Amino acid sequence: MKPILCLLGMIALSLGISGGQKSADAGVYVAGSISSPNVAVSLSYFHDELAPYGRWVDVEPYGSCWSPYDVSSDWRPYYDGNWAYTDYGWTWVSNEPYGWATYHYGRWVFDDYYGWIWLPDTAWGPAWVSWQYGNDWCGWSAMPPTSGWAVSIGFSWSNYSYRAPYQSWCFVPRQHFCDTNVRYACAPVYRNAALCNETRSISNWGKHDGRPVNRAFKVSDVERWTGRRIERQNIADLRPSRNEGRDFAQDGRGNQRFDSSDRFNGNRRFNSDQRFNQNERQSQARGRQYQAQRDQERQLQSRQRDTQNQRFSTQRRNEEQQFQGRGRQYQAQRDQERQLQSRQRDTQNQRFSTQRRNQEQQFQGRGRQYQDQRNQERQLQSRQRDTQNQRFSTQRRNQEQQLQGRGRQYQDQRQPQFQGRGRQYQDQRNQERQYQGRQRDAQSRGSTVVNNDRSNRGNQSSEETASAQKENGNGHGRGRGH
C-alpha cells in the first residue's frame, strides 16, 4: 500500500510542477516567497492562488480582502522571513507560502473583527513597509491602504496623520537585522509602544526600472551593525530560508509559453487539488509544529516568570526584613535623638530662666538707679528754673523802673512845648469865635457895617499876622543866637 501511495505522490508532484510552469504565464510565481517585478498580475489570479491559505471576506470600506489561516495571536505582516539586499533595495523574503503575493503587492490593515487582512493591488514592490531605527533597535511596519504608488509621482498619501498601530511593528536588535529568520529576534508586541518612542522614523525610497526601491538603511551601516558583508542578490535567485512552498518557476525571460486554454483542463484542476491538499497538510503540520514551539516557549516563559517571581519574592522579603530592621534601628536612633533634644531643651530653658531672672534683677536695679538720677535731674532743673525766674523778675522790674523814669523825664521835657502850643491854638480859636460873632453881628446890622467890620478885621488880622511873624522871627533868631 505504501509504495502505491509514494508512486501516486511522485506523479502528483510532477504534475504540480508542470501546472506551476503553466501558471507562470499569468505573470507571477505560483507559490514562492518572491514574485517577479517585470510581469503583470490580475486580481482574479490572487483569488485563485490565495484561497488555500486564507479566506476572502468583504470588509467596509475596502471591499474584498484576504485573511490568512493558522496565524498566532502575536503574528503580524513581515514577521516570518528575512531581509535581502537587491537591485530594488531591501527586499522581504517570506517563509510563508502566500508571501510572494501579500508582501510584494497590496497593503495590510488590522480589523477589529477579522484581525489582519490584506487588500490586493497590482503594483509590485520589494516590501511595502515603513521604517524606524534607534541606537539599539530597528523596526518595520506594513504600510496602510492610504499609501499609493505611481511611476510618475512615486508615493502618495491620502492621510498624512496616519500612525501605524503598535501591534503592526516588528522590532529586532540591529545586529539581528539580517538573520535567517527575524521572527526569533523580534521583540514581543507589548514592547512595541516603548520602542516606537525610543526610535525615529526614516524613509529613503527611490525608483529603478519604474519600480520602487527601498533603501531605508545604508548597506555600510547594516554591515557595521551585523559584523558581516552584505552581498547584493538577484530577485530571481532569492529563496526562503526553508522551502515551505511549491517550487519557483523562472522569471519572464525563461518562461515557456503555453496556450491559455491549457490552464482550464482537467489536469490543471487535478494538479490544483493535489497542490491544495499537499499545501493544506504542510500548513497543518507547520501549524502543529509552531503550536508546539509556542507551547514550549510559553512553558519556558512561565517557568522563567515563576523563577523570577520566587527570586523577586525572596528579594522582596529580604528587603522588607532589612527595611524593618533598619526601621527599628532608625526608630531607636530617633528616640535617643528626641531624648537628647528634650534634655538639651530643658537645660536651655533652665539657663534661659536664670539668665532672664538675672537680667530682670539688673534691669530693676538699673531702673531704680535711673529713677533716682531722673529725680535729681528734675530737682536741679526746678532749682535752675526758679533761679532763672528770679533773675528774670528782677531784671524785668529794673527795666520797667528805668522805662518809667525815662517816660517821666520825656513827659517833663515835652509838657512845656505842648502847653505853649495849646495856648496859641486856644487864642486862635478864640479869635475865630470872635470873628464869627462879629460876622453874625455885621450881618444883622447890614452890609455897611459888614464892610467896615471887614476892613477893621482885615487890618486887625494883618496886625496879628505881623505880630505873629515878628514873634516867630524873634524866636528863630534866638535859636540861631544860641
Predicted pLDDT at 222: 93
Three-state DSSP class for 201? strand
Q: How far apart are CA 47 and CA 99, in angstroms?
A: 14
Residue 400, Cβ neighbours under 10 Å: how many? 10
Predicted pLDDT at 21: 35
pTM of the complete model beyond 0.85: no
Residue indicated by cell numbers 501558471: 23
Give the burial class of 252: count Cβ atoms within 10 A of its Cβ; 0-12 exposed, 13-18 middle, 19 or more buried: middle
Predicted pLDDT at 341: 92
Distance of CA 416 to the CA centre of its chain: 113
Q: Which is more confident, 149 or 105?
A: 105
**pLDDT over 70 for what percent of the chain?**
71
Sheet of strand 137-142: strand arrangement: 169-173, 137-142, 129-133, 200-202
Cell representation of residue 85: 539586499
Most confident of 144-158, 170-184, 225-239, 415-429: 170-184
3-state secondary structure 31-94: CCCCCCCCCCCCHHHHHHHHHHHEEEEEECCCEEEEEECCCCCCCCCCCCEEEEEECCEEEEEE
Whether residue 214 contacts residue 85, with contact meaning beta carbons closer than 8 Å, is answered with no
Rounded to an integer, the average pLDDT of 92-120 is 92
pLDDT in tens, 10-57: 544 444 333 333 333 333 343 344 666 766 778 888 988 999 999 999
Predicted pLDDT at 160: 56
Whether residue 127 contacts residue 75, with contact meaning beta carbons closer than 8 Å, is answered with no
Predicted pLDDT at 290: 64
pLDDT in tens, 374-409: 999 999 999 999 999 999 999 999 999 999 888 888
Q: How far apart are CA 460 and CA 11, in angstroms?
A: 196
* Of the candidate ranges 106-120, 145-159, 436-450, the one whose mean pLDDT is the lowest: 145-159
Predicted pLDDT at 287: 62
Predicted pLDDT at 82: 93
Using alpha carbons, select from 117, 113, 110, 204 the residue that is nearest to residue 165. 110
The answer on pLDDT for 256 being more than 60 is no
Q: Which is more confident, 158 or 480?
A: 158
Name the helix (H) or strand (E) containing 138: strand 137-142
Rounded to an integer, the average pLDDT of 244-269 is 35
Q: How far apart are CA 240 and CA 225, in angstroms?
A: 23
pLDDT in tens, 151-186: 666 666 655 556 778 889 999 999 999 998 999 999
Confidence of residue 482 (pLDDT cuts 50, 70, 90): very low
The answer on pLDDT for 88 being more than 70 is yes
* 224-242 as b/e: b if 16+ CB within 10 A: ebeeeebeeeebbebebee
Mean per-residue pLDDT over the chain, rounded: 77
Whether residue 117 contacts residue 111, with contact meaning beta carbons closer than 8 Å, is answered with yes
Q: How far apart are CA 172 and CA 120, in angstroms?
A: 28
Predicted pLDDT at 448: 61
Predicted pLDDT at 35: 64
Predicted pLDDT at 282: 61
**pLDDT over 90 for what percent of the chain?**
30
Name the helix (H) or strand (E) containing 390: helix 266-445
pLDDT in tens, 336-374: 999 999 999 999 999 988 998 998 898 898 889 999 999
Q: Which residues contact 423 (CB under 8 A, 6 or more apart)?
A: none
Name the helix (H) or strand (E) containing 470: helix 447-481
Three-state DSSP class for 430? helix
Predicted pLDDT at 375: 92
Residue indicated by cell numbers 459888614: 450
Rounded to an integer, the average pLDDT of 263-274 is 40
Cell representation of residue 75: 503574528
Using alpha carbons, select from 437, 464, 468 the residue that is nearest to residue 453. 437
Beta strands 169-173; 137-142: pairing state? antiparallel
Confidence of residue 250 (pLDDT cuts 50, 70, 90): very low
Q: Which residues contact 176 (CB under 8 A, 6 or more apart)?
A: 182, 185, 226
Confidence of residue 251 (pLDDT cuts 50, 70, 90): very low
pLDDT in tens, 285-300: 766 776 777 778 778 8
Q: Which is more confident, 64 or 441?
A: 64
Domain boundaries, the chain: 14-264
